[in-house]
Amino acid sequence: MKTIRSRKGAPGLVEVAARAGVSPATVSRYFNNPDIVKPDTKTRIAEAAVSLGYIRDRMAGALHNRFSGTIGLIVPTIDNAIFAELIEVFGGRLREHDRTMLIASHGYDLNLEVAIVRSLLERRIDGVVLIGFDHDEIPLDMLAQRYVPVISAWNYRANSSLPCVGTDNREAGAIVTQHLLDLGHRDIAFVFPETESNDRARDRLSGAIAAARKYGVEPHSERLRIAPYDIGAAKAVGQKILSERAPTAVVCGNDIIAQGIVYACQASGVRIADDLSIVGIGDFSGSAHMEPGLTTLRLPAQKIGQQAADTILEMSISGLPPAKMRTSIKASLIERGSTKHV
Amino acid sequence: MKTIRSRKGAPGLVEVAARAGVSPATVSRYFNNPDIVKPDTKTRIAEAAVSLGYIRDRMAGALHNRFSGTIGLIVPTIDNAIFAELIEVFGGRLREHDRTMLIASHGYDLNLEVAIVRSLLERRIDGVVLIGFDHDEIPLDMLAQRYVPVISAWNYRANSSLPCVGTDNREAGAIVTQHLLDLGHRDIAFVFPETESNDRARDRLSGAIAAARKYGVEPHSERLRIAPYDIGAAKAVGQKILSERAPTAVVCGNDIIAQGIVYACQASGVRIADDLSIVGIGDFSGSAHMEPGLTTLRLPAQKIGQQAADTILEMSISGLPPAKMRTSIKASLIERGSTKHV
DNA sequence: GCGTTTGATGAAAACGTTTGCATTACTGTT
DNA sequence: AACAGTAATGCAAACGTTTTCATCAAACGC
C-alpha cells in the first residue's frame, strides 16, 4: 500500500533557509523567537518563506519540544445550545493565542471518555478542559501521570479538586427558587433532569430545595419531576403536571425544560404567569423572545469560555497550577414575563 | 525558559520493545499492522504496553508517513443548533475510525478562514470539510497545493467544483413555497437572511421565488424582508410586517427566523395558521414542540454529518476524488400546525 | 534433502523541526 | 589598537516513530 500523497509542492524549513541564505536554525528561530534574529535577516527569511509558500510543520516541532499547540475540550455533547456558545468563544480565544482546539464529545458515556483522553494524549495535547465534575478516575490519572494540565469548566465549587471556572449551581438553583418565593409562591413544582450522572442538575436541584425549605415549602414526590434535556419530553411532563393538581409555579432545571413547560401551558390553555409562573436556568437563545419571555438565570457562557481558555493556557505554559485555582462566574437573574406575583 | 514538563512517566516505543524483548520495529508493526506479527509476540507486546502504560505518539508517526489522523472541520459558527448536530455526529463517526476532529469557526469572516486553513495545514490535517460553497480562492489553493482532500458539506449542487454532501437549497426553498401555494396562498412574504455572503440563503430564496412565480406570485419589495439569524431580530421584522398590510403566509429562510415570526404573531395577537401561515426550513430542535408546531423542511443533519465523514475519510485514505463526487441528501417537508388552507 | 517461497523480525535511515554549544561578527571601552 | 562583552548565526545531535531492506527460520514442492 504505497502512500499516494506526495510532498512535491511542500517546501520545508531547509528550503527556506537555503533561499534566504541562512542556516535552518536561524529560520527556526525566526518563527519561534523572532526577537533574537537580526532585522535584516528577518526580512530575507520572511521573503523566502512567503515566496516559497512555506507552511511550518508543527508536528515536527512538537516532537522536539513537548508542546503541540493543541488544547482538548471534552464536552458531554456539542449539540446543546449553551455548550455551543462556550465552545465558540473558547475556540476563538485559543486561536488568538495560536492554539488549536481539539473537540470531542462523549454523550455522557464515561467509557468513551477514557478512549477520548487516550486519543488526545496520543496527539500530545497541551491541556484539557472538561465540563463539570463527574469524571472517572482513570482518564484523570492518565492525564496527571503525563503532567497534562486539566481544568473543569462550567461549574464552580469551592472545594473542587480540579481548578475550575464556572458558576455555582447550588446558588443558581437557590436564586431562581428564591425569586418565586419572593413573589409569594408556596406551591412550587421542580422539573429537573436525571441527577444520577449530572452534577449540574444535582447541585441546582439541591440548591432549589434548600431555598424552598427555608420557607417551609417541602417538595413532595408529586412536586418533583424528572424530565430529560428535550423540549418535547419536557412538554409532556408539563402537560401531565397541569392535568393533575397544578402548582402555582415551576422551577426548571434548565431553559430547555422551561421552554417545554411554556409550550405545555400554551397547549393546555393555561395562562403563563397568571396561572403558572415558570423560571428556567441558562438563558438560552430563544428564551428572551418567546411569548411571554422566560424569566431565567443567565449563565455567562462567553465569560466562562474565555476564562477557561485563559486559565488552561496559563497552566500549559507555566506547567504549574493556575494563579487562581477556582474562578466563580456570577449568574444573574433575568426577569421576563413568565413569572408573576401570586 | 526551561521547559517544565518533564517526560518522566512517559515510556516510549523503545521501552515497550525492550520489555517485550523485541525490536522497536516490531512494536511499531504491532500497532499499525497487527496481522503481520506472530500471535505469540503480539501478546508479549500487548502485555508490555499495558504494564508500562504506553501511549503512542502519533505526532512522531505522522512525521514519517504523512498522516496525522486528524480531520479539520471549518464551520461558520458552532453556536447554531443545526451545525452543532452535524458536528456531533461527524465527530463521532471520525472517532469510530480512530481519527480526531479539529474544529474551527470563522464567524463568516473569510480572512479568518485563511488563517484557519493555515493553522490546520501546520497541524498536518488529512482532510478538510467546509460548510457551503462560498469560500475564498486562497485557502482552497493552499489546500490543493498540498493535496489535502476537501469537501463541502451541508449544501448540494449538481455542478459544484468541490465534492459535496448535502441538500439542494433551491429545491428546499421551492418545496416549502410550493406547500403554501398548494394550500391556496397567493399573498406570500419572504423573510430571509442577507444573501450576500450566504449561499444557502441565496439558493433557498431563489428557489422560493421561482416556485412562486410559476403561480404568478411576484414578491415585491414589501414582501421581501431581510432578517438576521436571530430570533429577536426576526421577531421584530415579523411585527413590522404584521403592523402593515399583512400577507396570508410567510416563507422563512430558516427555522430561527420562523420561530421569531411565530413569537411576533403571539405578541401581536395574530392567530397562527388561521390568520397567517408560517413555514421554516431546518426543523431545528424546538420547532416540533412549539405551539403550534412549525411546518418546516427537515434537513437531515445527522445523515449529512455521517456521509461527510465517510467521504472525507475515503478521500484521505485513497488520495483520490471520492467514488461519489456529489451526494444529495433529501429533505422532507414536515407538516405541523403553523400552516393552513386559506 | 535441496532450492524456493513465505513469514517474522531486526538494523538503520529517514521524517522536519528545535536547541545546546560553538563560532563568528559586531559594539563600545580603554 | 587591542579587548572584553554581547549579538547573531551555524553545526549537529536530538525528538519518537515508521519503513525499507536485509536476515533468518520455517514450511513447501519436488
Domains of chain A: 13-56 (1.10.260.40), 70-168+301-332 (3.40.50.2300), 169-298 (3.40.50.2300)
Q: What is the DSSP string of A53-122?
A: T----HHHHHHHSS--SEEEEEES-S-SHHHHHHHHHHHHHHHHTT-EEEEEE-TT-HHHHHHHHHHHHH
pLDDT of residue A79 exceeding 60? yes
Amino acid in position B197 = S
CA distances from B335 to A92, B273, B281, B284, B332 (A): 38, 12, 12, 14, 10
With beta carbons under 8 A apart, name residues in chain B contacting A65: 3
pLDDT value of residue B4: 43
Query: What is residue B5's predicted lDDT score, i.e. its pLDDT?
Result: 47
> For B263-292, b where at least 16 C-beta lie within 10 A, e where not — what string?
bbbbbbebebbeebbbbbbbbbbbbbbbbb
Digit-coded pLDDT (tens) for A257-281: 999 999 999 999 999 999 999 999 9
The answer to whether the beta carbons of residues B146 and B117 sit under 8 Å apart is no
**pLDDT of B167 over the 80 cut:** yes
Q: Which residues touch strand D (CB under 7 A)?
A: A 2-3, 17, 21-26, 29, 36-38, 40-41, 60, 63-64; B 7, 10, 12-14, 24-25, 27-29, 31-32, 54, 56-57, 60-61, 63-65
Q: Averaged over B165-176, what is the pLDDT?
A: 98
Q: Percent of chain A beyond pLDDT 90? A: 87
pLDDT of res. B142: 94
The pLDDT, as a whole number, for residue A65 is: 86
| pLDDT digits 0-9 by tens, A36-52 | 999 999 999 999 999 99
Of the listed ranges A68-72, A225-229, B32-36, B63-67, the least confidently predicted one is B63-67
Lowest mean pLDDT among A112-116, B9-13, B146-150, B252-256: B9-13
What is the arithmetic mean of pLDDT over A290-314?
97
Is residue B127 scored above 90 in pLDDT? yes
Q: What is the pLDDT of residues A91-109, one digit of tens each?
A: 999 999 999 999 999 988 8
pLDDT at A8: 53
**Average pLDDT along chain A:** 94
Distance CA A136, CA B165 (A): 37
Q: Does residue B289 have a pLDDT over 60?
A: yes
Beta bridge partners of B282: B298
Residue A115 has pLDDT above 60, yes or no: yes
A68 contacts in B (CB within 8 Å)? 59
**Average pLDDT of span A120-127:** 95
Query: Does pLDDT of A3 surpass 60?
Result: no
Region A162-175 average pLDDT: 97
Does the pLDDT value for residue A1 go beyond 50?
A: no
Residues of A whose CB is below 8 A from B289 = 231-232, 235, 260, 263
Q: Which three cell numbers stand for residue B236?
A: 421584530
Nearest to B289 among A59, A88, A260 (CB): A260
Task: Give the model confidence (pLDDT) of B245-262 as tens digits.
Answer: 999 999 999 999 999 999
Q: Buried b vs exposed e over B25-45: b needs ≥16 C-beta within 10 Å?
A: ebbbbbeeeeeebeeebbebb
